[in-house]
Each structure stands twice: as structure tokens, then as C-alpha cells.
Structure 1
Amino acid sequence: MKKTINKNHKKQIIKYYLHKYRFHYIIGILTLVFVDIIQLRIPLITKDVTDGLQTGTYTMENIANRVTVLIVIGISIAIGRFVWRYFIFGTSRHIEYELRNDFFGHLEKLSLRYYNDHQTGDLMAHATNDLNAVRMMLGPGILMALDAFVLTTLVIIQMVTVISLRLTLFAIIPLPFIAIGSLLLGKVVQLRFKEKQEAFSELTDQVQENLSGIRVIKAFVQESKELLAFQKVNAKNFEKNMKLVKLFAWMMPLSGLISGLSISIILGYGGYLVILGDITIGEFVAYINYLYMLIWPMIAFGMCINIISQGRASFNRIQSILNEVPEIEDNEKTKDIKVIKGNITIKNLNFTYSHSKEKALKNININIIGGQTIGIVGRTGSGKTTLVNLLLRLINPRENTIFMDGNDIFEIPLKTLRYNIGYVPQDNYLFSNTIKNNIAFGMPLAYNEEVKNAAQIANVHDNIMDFTNEYETIVGEKGVTLSGGQKQRVSIARAIIKNTPILILDDAVSAVDTNTEEQILRHLKEKRKNKTTIIIAHRISTIQHADNIFVLDEGEIVEEGTHTELIAKKGLYYNMVKRQQLEKELEKEV
């Protein structure tokens, strides 16, 4: 079963995941502290060996014992590093995996309006680069921050208690400068990284749009124009990346410079204390080792600020999407309804898109008895597809305007509603998969015979058998390897195989010839006896045999009746019939 985050956790998603994997992090952190503690033994051993050799008190047995201890420490460090890498880095990978699933699952719940307002390339950038930056923050970012803090604290304590307080005070002088500088630069990093990600989103969207529309670009000979447009967004992406790279180019050398200056000062002052006899040569060697151990935290502090700043910028971008509330979902009014019989009633339905002042649908009243075939016809922009989207709740109608089997559409669970409706949209979108899998998309466990039967009803079986790989033929992105008519018929087969109580065909046979259209409609009539079928069309021939026909014009039902009744009225429907007959005659003459 697919897991998704609780709605209450969306605004605190990082806390949610950190709490969920807290024991993994605790084990990793404890192991990290253990590794840092045993590392501190190495300079002490070198101190003892150095002083022992200088004073002549060390024998080969002593040296062998120390070497053995060093080997044990080395093995322990290796095992400890594996453990904390597994529990910290591995956990960040788990979080990235689950967060990507949650992110994609949330995208699936968002309404069509959201996708009208947001570009695909931008969402792809969120799902790739931004999620990777969040993982880096929750893995290497956390690790570096903790390691820098723990190791610095332990080393300074060891330097003060074992070596020299005065020498230690010299060693920690650069630390505040590095810390303050990293914190100040961190804010700039976060801002520049956000700009970089936004530029990458624009670049991704430009590429995605051009590759999807490559046939149009070639047909209109606009390759040069689109190349210039790409070069523009690519230059912006390059500029934003370079601004961030220049910042990094300053941060790391500066940290190294400060560390180098610190070592130079300590070498001079430490050597002076040895000459004075305040510390032994062994203590001086141990101190140098401790100092080198401090260099990593100094550098790591700057690195973790960069990683965490980038992660926070990306997290904020992802969080803004996760905080989007789905407009269309089940609510407290939803009932436990499993089946729809096919009776549809629409009462006083009005609908206006948010971006428009004009009503797309006005005072729509329709009554469909289960088992009827209904035709809906009208000019382009008359509101036919809007009506379908409302029936499927791809957009929300007002309450108490659409009823199915007497239930308000809001009382029917979305899954039940859409599972019981077969739908063939205008765009006939096919997935880059086999023809068989495209037909069986809504019924993944369908048998080969069922797939073949659906294809025969849609009158596309013979075309499929002409392909080398027959039903295993890969149709390419968006079904590009098929003709327009073949794509439409595969889409019809995909809806037919569900054998739903309601079937909606939205201009689904516009790309096929009239003979093929007649065969498909005849097959549908035989297959779908006692089931509701709604056919939306521009061609009168597609809907003339329907039990009832609704004529839409500028969002209103202007006429209703059977084909014969509407012809007798000599209104808009009659004029459409005459115009299409004239067009056919002109085509014959040509």
C-alpha cells in the first residue's frame, strides 16, 4: 500500500522525517562521537612514544604494544565510520526516497488548475535537484555540522587538559572568524542557490517544451529561433551557477588560509614553549596532531553551512508545493458508495473559470436515464468539455447541481466516481509503452483476450496486427508512432476494456473516416446495451442515432431532442446538419 505523509505533517515535514528515523540518527551520532573520542587517543600515543624514545625509557615491547593499540584503534575507526555512514547517509537516502514518493503522490492529487499555472520543467526540477539538495542537507550536512562541533569540542578539551592552556588559546583564535564568516555567507549562499534552482527550472522547462514540440518546430522551420531562446535561458542558468561557484571559490581557500596561518603561529609559539621547557617534544608533536585534527572541523563548518543553506532553499521550494491544498478531494459529505448505475441528473448548473468573467456553462439541466446513449453537440468553445470535466470532477461543480443515481456528486468517493466512468479525452494521450499496456491501463490485470476484444470493438485490432510486434509494439512518447486515428481508437479501447456503467467519448472519433466511425459506433451499441454512453462530437453523423441530443451554444442548452425532432425544429442543429452536408458535397466535387 502506498504510504503518504499525514496532512498535519506537511508543514513540518523535516521534523516528521527526523522523528521517524530518530533512532537511526541516534545510532549514527553515537557512533560518530565514539569514533571522534578514540581518534583523540592517537596523538597521546605518539606523544608517549616520542617522549619515551627521547628519554630512552621505551623498549621494542613498548613500541609493539603501542602499534597494536594503533591497529585496534584504526580498525575500530574504520568500523565506526562504516556504521555512521550507513545510519546517517543511508537514512538520508531513505528520506529522499520517501519524500520523492510523497512529493509525486501529492502532485497527483493537485487539480488541473495547478498544472495550468505551473510548468512541467519547474516541477521536474523540484523532483530532482531540489530533493537531492534536501538529501545532502539531511545526510552530509547534519554529519559535518555534528562532527565539526563534537570534534572541535573534544580536541580543545584535550588540548587544554593534556597539553597547554596558553597554546590552546592561540589555536582557537581563528575559529570565531571562520564561524562568523560562514554564517554571514550562508545567507548569501541560500539566496544564490535559490536563484540557481529557479534558473535550472526554466532551462528544464524550455528543453521539455521544445522536445515535446519538435515536430511543430521543424514543420515551421523555427529551429534557429528556438535555439536562440534556449541559449538565453542557458546563459541565465550559467550566470546563476557561476555566481554560486565564485562564492564557493572564495570560501574554501579562505578557510584554508586561516587554518594555515593558525598552524604557522602555533608551530612558532609551540616551538618556543619547547625551548623554554614548558612542554615536552612529545607534547608538542601531540599538539600538532590535535591542531591538524582541528583543520577538518574548520573547513567542514564552512561546507556544512553551504550544504544546509542549499538544502533549506530547496526545501522551501518543495514545501511550497506540499502546502498546496488539493482542490478536489473527498470530504465529510462523501458516503461509502461503491457502484454507480448510470443515472445522471444535472440541475441548474452554472460554471465560471477563475480566469474568466464569462460563464462557461449557464443554467444546464439534463436528465439521463441509465442505459441511454446521449449526444452532445455544439460549436467550439460552447462548453462541451467543461461539462465532461465537471462530471468527472476534474474540476469542482457547485454542490447540489450534479447527481448520479440520486446522490450528489460530492457524496460519491472520487475513486468510485472515476472507476465507474470510462473516458476518452480529446487529446488521446498514450504512454510510452506497449499498445497492450496502453489499452489495459485502467485494468492492469486484464487478460490478453480482453485486450484483444476491446481493440476489436474500437476497430483497431487489424492495424495492431499489421505491426511487427503486434500488441507488444512500443508506441513512443505520447503515442507518436501511431496515426491520429489509431491513437483515438487505442484510447477508445482503453475506455471500453473497463466495461463501466458510464462511458464518455469527448470528440473521440474525429480523426477516423465515416466508415470506421460507423463500425465503432455499431460495436459500442452492441457492447453497451443497458449502459449509459455520452458522446460529444462536432460531426452530426457521430450522434444522430443517440436516444437524446443536447445542443450547446455559448454555454447554454439551446435545443434538445432526437435527431428527427431537432431537424424538424429547423434551429441551430438543423443549420449544422445542412452545413456539414454541404461540406461533404464540396469534398466529393474536389
Structure 2
Amino acid sequence: MKAQRVLVDYLKGKWPYYLLAILFMAAGNIIQSFYPRIIGSFADQLKEEQLTYSLIVDYSLLLLGVGIAFGVLAGMGQYIVMRLGRLFEFFTRGRLFDHFMTLGEHFYSKNGVGKLLSYVMNDVTAVREAIARGINQSTNSGILILSAAAMMLASDIPLRLIAISVLPLLAIPWIVSRFGPVIRSRSLSVQEALGKMTESAEEQFGGIRVTKKFAAEPIMGARFGAAVDRIHEKQLKLVRVSSLFQALIPFLGTLSLIIAIVYGGYLTIHQHISLGNFVALTLYIRMMVNPLQQIGGVINTMQRSRASLDRINELLAKEGEIQEAEQALAHDLKRAGIRIRHLTFSYPDADMEALHDISLDIAPGSTVGILGKTGSGKTTLMKLLLRMYDPPEGAIRIGGVDIRQLTLESLRDQIAYVPQEGFLFSTTIRDNIAFYRRDSAMTRIEEAAKQAQIYGNIVEFPERFETKLGERGVTLSGGQRQRTSLARGLIKRAPIMILDDSVSAVDAVTEQKIIDTISKERQGLTTIVIAHRISALKHADEIVVLDEGRIVQRGTHAELIGQRGMYATLHAIQEEGNRDAE
């Protein structure tokens, strides 16, 4: 069944253990089904005044043996199933994480962190609980019901009494068929609402400092409250139908017990059946009521988990937008030039072109600057170079090879990308700088920190490079986070480095020191510098000016200053701003 793919994949290697657990629980419940028969025999001997102290002890020991055997066998089976349920949780979360790594930029632009967490936490937990609880309770209940029915049929209890007593239970399949789809549909709605609430919570907690600074607590509280209210409304709808469903099944079991007592009592009074058989019958019916109630709960849980399982499988069915070619190459980019020809690109679901007819050559070992207003296409061009989105076939070549023919690993492994907002992990400064090269020597980490002009700040911390940064590097200022991210890119020493406005949060003096260091350290290596400030681009071999996705100017700093155009205008504005600041 395609809808059950992740579950089937997990069960392929685990079914013998599940079978063993079911056999343990089945044996335990078969033994337990002897309990009413023993009590019935005891009742008959009590009525006939045949009981002796020795028989009472025998009956007591027999019941104790039944209890111990049931407890040991059922307990072993349940332990195996619960342990396997935890393994399923581990297996599925690992598989989801691996799958997340294959999904592209477009997927993450449409799905927030909270929604992804709801898959990993809420949905996986719901399925795991259903597997463990479902197998435990359905096995225990199913075997107990079948054993009780077999024991009743094997006894001297009249068949017509048994048939009339269990008649109400025949309505259970109809109830399941009516309520099952409704519970599953409402459970899916609840899980989707939980995902949105988790996403809202993640956003609220991440922006708590901004909220406090603007005294916007009531606004954020109302926004989060609205998400909670939506879940509350959907959960109430689910609870109503689930409660009615779970109430009907035990009601039918109780109705069976009433019939057994009334009709069985009548037959006993008129001596058509023995007192022992009457007691055994009522105990068997009572023994079947609790399992029936449990089966109702299992079906309820299964319908809910099916909604979560469908969501997980739907996610796993999504394919990453970026696929490697069948004969992809692991190409060495150390002395490879970049050639872009007639590149036109639009984002998925977007009507406007982000880039239009871009043609550009970047010689190996050169430094190229890219300037443009916000939304001009600078970052889009870099995302295409990294294949975060796929460019048109043949539009971008490195070393003469279409980047669509390169393996993703070899392409991205040889490009160091430093974005404007570099993400820092909530670990130590050392681990963040050595993110790409975990085995880097401390001297190399310190060297990269010095190149990024962050070393002086780091050594001021009491724990220096072992300082923990907190969530998203909250311990550091904006400029310090940028420079730490820059150090992480520099330590990679990749053949191609992209600085995407990655020194915008530092002062002009520090910026110039960083640019001078990079120019010295990356001689012979290709560097692409994206910036809003012209001071970061003056040293470039060529500067490309983008406007609304088109190249409008190109040349050296001196050449562009001598032309009338956007570059000269921006230069004049920035120079005037610098003089005013002085």
C-alpha cells in the first residue's frame, strides 16, 4: 500500500519481533480466558457443597498460576512492542531529517520551521503511539475475545443464549465504518492546525526581543491566541465524534451483559443451565466488554494516526527540485572560470523575471564585484550559481562544464558562500568557525578569526573560542555574527568564494581591513563580492551593476566613475554621506 510506505519500510526488518510479541500476548490471553471457567467450576462445587479446604487452596493456586502466566507472557509481548515503537520513532525521524536535506529552496520558502517540527514531533509521535498501543491492545483484546468466545462455545452453555447475548456486538463493524473516516478527516485538520501553531510559536519565541522592545506583547499574544483558538475549535470537533464513538462500543458490550444476566438468569432459575455456567457466561461477557472498549480506543487512535501517517508519507513523496544528472561529474574547480550566457530566470509561482539575459565571464583567480539595489537580482544570481535553484540548461558553466552536470557535492564543496545574515548555531564559537572543517587545528581557526577581524572580540570573552553563542548566535552583535560567519567561509579556502553583502554590518575601517586581508589571502582564487557599499568593491578586477535583473553597467571602479550612470550616482551619494558622518 503506497499510503503506508514508511511503515512498510520499517516493518520489513522488524516483523519477526512483532510476531514474537504477538505470540507472547496471545498465549497470555488464551491462558487468561480460563479464568471464568475456573470460577464457574468453583461456583458449581460451592452450590453442591463439595468444596473442601484442599480444593479451595487448589483453586487459589490455579488462579494464581493463571495470573502469573498472563502477566509474564503479556508483559514480555508489550515490552517488545513498546521498544519497537521507540525504534520506529528513531527510524522515521532520521528518515525525515535525511529527506529534509534533499529538499530545495522553494520548499523551505513555503514551509516554516514550525510546520516541519510538527512532522518530526507531533506526527511521528502519533504514529508511534498508535503502533505500540494498537498492537498491544488489539492483540490482547482480539485474542481475549476469540478465546472467550471459544470457551463459551466449548462449554455446556446453550448456543441460543450465547447468540442472543452477543447479538448487540454485531453492530460494531457498522459503527466503525461510519465513524472511522470522520475521525481521520478531523484528525488531519487538527494536525495541520498544530503545525501552524508550532510555526507561530517558533516565530514568536524567535522574535521575543523585538516584541519587548516595541511593547507589542498584546499584539503578539492575540496573534498566538488566534492560532490556539483554531486548534481548540478543531480539537473540540474531533473530541465530540471520538467521544461518541468510544461511548457506543462499551454501551453495546454493556447491553450484551444485560441480556446475558436477564436471559441467563431466567434459564438458571428454571434449572436449564447450572449456576456455574451462568457465572461463567456473565464473566465471559464481562471479559469481552473491556476489550471491546479498548478496541474502540484502538480504532480511534488508528484513525488519528492514519492522518499523521498520510502527512508523513506525503512529505516523503515530495522530490527535491534539484536533481543530479545520471552521469554527474565531480569536477575540480580550482582553475575553472565561470561563464554565464543569456541567463533568464523566474522564481517558481512568480510572474516577473528575477534575471533577464545575463551574460558574464569570471576569469579563474579574479575578483568580481556585483552592485545593485535591493531586488536587483544579486542574490538570485548566486543562488543559481550554487544550484539552490536550477538555471536553464547550459546557462552557467564552470570550467566549461554545465553546472547541471556537476554533482551537488562537488559544486557546493568548492564554493564558500557567506551571506549577509550568516546563521550561527547554538554551540561554541570554535564549532561555528570550524563548521565545514571539524578537524581544523586551533591555529587555523584563530587565523581565520583574525582574517575576519573577529579575533579581538573573541579573546575578550572569558571562555574565548569555547564561548557558547546561544540560539542563532544571540550572544554576539550583528557585526560580530557577520564576521564569525565570514571566518567560517574563509577557513574553507574554497576555489570560489561568494561574499553576499557579508560586511554590511561593520564599520568602514574594519571593512577595509577585511577587504585588504581577503585580497591578500585569496590571490589566485576566484572571489565574488556582492555589496551595497562601493568601498567594498573598489579593489575588484571588474564590477557589474545590476538593476531590475539586468546588467546595466560593467567595468573597473575607475571606468565606472568616469561614466554617467547608477554606479557614479551611488558613489557620489555614499561619498557625501561619509563626509557628513565625519
- Aligning the two structures, in what range does the TM-score lie when normalised by the shorter sequence? over 0.9
Report the AA paired with residue 326 of structure 1: G
Contact 1:9 1:16 in 2 (8 A): no
Range 491-500 or range 197-206, more displaced: 197-206
Q: TM-score under structure 1 normalisation?
A: 0.93
Q: In the aligned structure 2, how far is the partner of 1:327 from the partner of 1:19? A: 29
Q: Does the Cα contact within 8 Å between 1:189 and 1:247 map onto a contact in 2?
A: yes
After superposition, the Cα gap between the structure-2 partners of 1:337 and 1:286, relative to the gap in structure 1 and judged at 3 Å, is farther
Instruction: Tell me what 1:84 maps to.
Output: 77
What secondary structure sits across from 1:544 in the alignment? Answer: coil
Q: Which amino acid aligns with 1:493?
A: A
The 3-state SS of whatever aligns with 1:569 is coil
Partner of 1:136: 129
> 1:235 Cα deviation (Å)?
1.8
> 315-324 or 338-347: which moved more?
338-347
SS at match of 2:503: coil
Please list, as runs of the form range in 1=range in 2, the aligned pairs for 1:556-575 lying within 5 A after superposition. 556-575=550-569
After TM superposition, give the deviation of residue 10 of structure 1 in Å: 8.2
Distance 2:440 2:425 in 1: 17
2:192 counterpart (194, 198, 207)? 198
Segment of structure 1 superposing worse, 255-264 or 50-59:
50-59
Contact kept, 8 Å, 2:10 with 2:91, in 1: the verdict is no
Distance 1:381 1:53 in 2: 92
> Residue 334 of structure 1 aligns to a residue in which SS?
coil
Judged with a 3 Å threshold, the aligned counterparts in structure 2 of structure 1 residues 221 and 56 are, in CA distance, closer, same or farther, namely: closer
Deviations 1:369-425 (A, max 9, x none): 222122111222211100110111111111211112222112211111111111111
Correspondence for 1:111 = 104
Task: String of CA shifts for 1:346-373, please: whole Å, max 9, x gaps.
Answer: 2221111123333211222222222212
Opposite residue 29 of structure 1, the aligned amino acid is: I
Residue number in structure 2 paired with 1:158: 151
Partner of 2:202: 208
The structure-2 alpha-carbon separation of the partners of 1:214 and 1:580, relative to structure 1 and needing over 3 Å to count, comes to same
Shift of 1:274: 2.2
Conserved? CA contact 2:86–2:128, under 8 Å: yes
Alignment check: 8 A CA contact 2:333 2:398 kept: no
| Cα distance in 1, alignment partners of residues 17 and 399 from structure 2 | 52
Q: Deviations over 1:212-241 (max 9, x none)?
A: 222333343332222222222222222222
Name whichever of 409-418 and 121-130 sits farther off.
Answer: 121-130
Q: CA shift at 1:507, angstroms?
A: 0.3
Residues 341 and 25 (structure 1), Cα distance of their counterparts in 2 relative to 1, 3 Å cut: farther
Which residue among 19, 22, 41 is the counterpart of 1:29?
22
Contact persistence 1:182–1:301 (CA under 8 A): no
Residue 48 (structure 1) aligns with: 41
Larger deviation, residues 541-550 vs 279-288: 279-288
2:106/2:348 contact within 8 Å kept: no
Deviation at 1:61, TM superposition (A): 4.3
Deviation at 1:495, TM superposition (A): 0.7
Alpha-carbon distance, 1:460 to partner: 0.3
Contact 2:10 2:88 in 1 (8 A): yes
* Residue aligning to 1:176: 170
User: SS in structure 2 opposite 1:550?
Assistant: strand
More moved, 224-233 vs 321-330? 224-233
Residues 379 and 500, structure 2, Cα contact 8 Å, conserved in 1: yes
**Deviation (angstroms), 1:195:** 2.1
- Alignment length (residue pairs): 581
Contact kept, 8 Å, 2:452 with 2:487, in 1: the verdict is: yes
> Mind listing any 5+ residue stretches in structure 1 that lack a counterpart?
1-7
Counterpart CA distance in 2 for 1:338 and 1:566 is 34
Tell me which residue corresponds to 1:3.
none
1:294 aligns to 2:288 (yes or no): yes
Matches within 5 A, 1:271-350: 271-337=265-331, 340-350=334-344
1:148 maps to: 141
| More divergent stretch after superposition (350-359 vs 60-69) | 60-69
Q: Given the alignment of the two structures, is residue 493 of structure 1 paired with residue 472 of structure 2, yes or no?
A: no
- What one-letter code is carried by the residue in structure 2 that aligns with 1:106? H
SS at match of 1:486: helix
Aligned to 1:360: 354
Identify which of 6, 14, 19 aligns with 2:7: 14
Separation of aligned partners in 2, 1:342 and 1:443: 23
Give the residue type in structure 1 aligned to 2:149.
Answer: I
How far did residue 244 of structure 1 move? Answer: 2.2
Q: Is 1:397 paired with 2:399? A: no
Contact in 1 for aligned 2:378/2:546 (Cα 8 Å): yes
1:293–1:339 distance in 2 versus 1, CA, 3 Å = farther
1:233 to 223, 227, 232: 227
Q: 1:464 and 2:462 equivalent?
A: no
2:374 is the alignment partner of 1:384: no
Classify 1:582/1:189 alpha carbon distance in 2 versus 1 (closer, same or farther; 3 Å).
same
Paired position in structure 1 for 2:93: 100
Q: 2:472 aligns with which of 462, 471, 478?
A: 478
Q: Given the alignment, which residue of 61, 65, 76 partners 1:72?
A: 65
Superposed CA RMSD: 2.2
Q: Secondary structure at the match of 2:499?
A: strand
After TM superposition, the structure 1 stretch with the greater mean CA deviation from structure 2, 248-257 or 183-192, is 248-257
Aligned to 1:5: none
2:251 is aligned to 257
* Counterparts of 1:118 and 1:253, CA distance in 2: 38
Decide whether the 8 Å contact of 1:10 with 1:322 is kept in 2: no
Distance change >3 Å, CA 11–CA 197, structure 1 → 2: closer
| In 1, Cα distance between equivalents of 2:74 and 2:518 | 66
Q: Could you tell me how far apart the structure 2 residues matched to 1:99 and 1:331 are?
A: 28
1:186 CA displacement: 2.1
Counterpart Cα distance in 1 of 2:93 and 2:495: 36
SS in 2 for 1:467: coil
Q: 1:333 touches 1:410 (CA, 8 Å); kept in 2?
A: no
Which of these residues, 13, 31, 46, is aligned with residue 38 of structure 1? 31
Pairs within 5 Å for 1:535-550 = 535-550=529-544
Question: For the residues of structure 1 that align with 2:352 and 2:246, how far apart are their CA atoms?
Answer: 59
What does residue 554 of structure 1 align with? 548
Give the Cα–Cα distance (whole angstroms) in 2 for the partners of residues 334 and 198 of structure 1: 38
SS of 1:327 mapped into structure 2: coil
Structure 2: runs of 5 or more not aligned: none
Pairwise CA distance, 1:45? 2.2
Q: Give the TM-score, by structure 2 length.
A: 0.94
Identical amino acids, percent of aligned pairs: 36
Which one of the candidate residues 165, 183, 188 is aligned to 1:189?
183
Query: Is the 8 Å Cα contact of residues 340 and 417 (structure 1) preserved in structure 2?
Result: no
Matched residue, 1:217: 211
Q: CA deviation at 1:499?
A: 1.6
Counterpart of 1:369?
Answer: 363
3-state secondary structure, aligned to 2:536:
helix
Deviation at 1:145? 3.1
| Structure 1 residue matching 2:580: 3-state secondary structure | helix
**1:501-530 CA-partner distances (Å, limit 9, x unpaired):** 111100011111111011111222222222
Q: Is the 8 A contact 1:535 1:543 kept in 2?
A: yes
Post-superposition offset of 1:572: 3.0
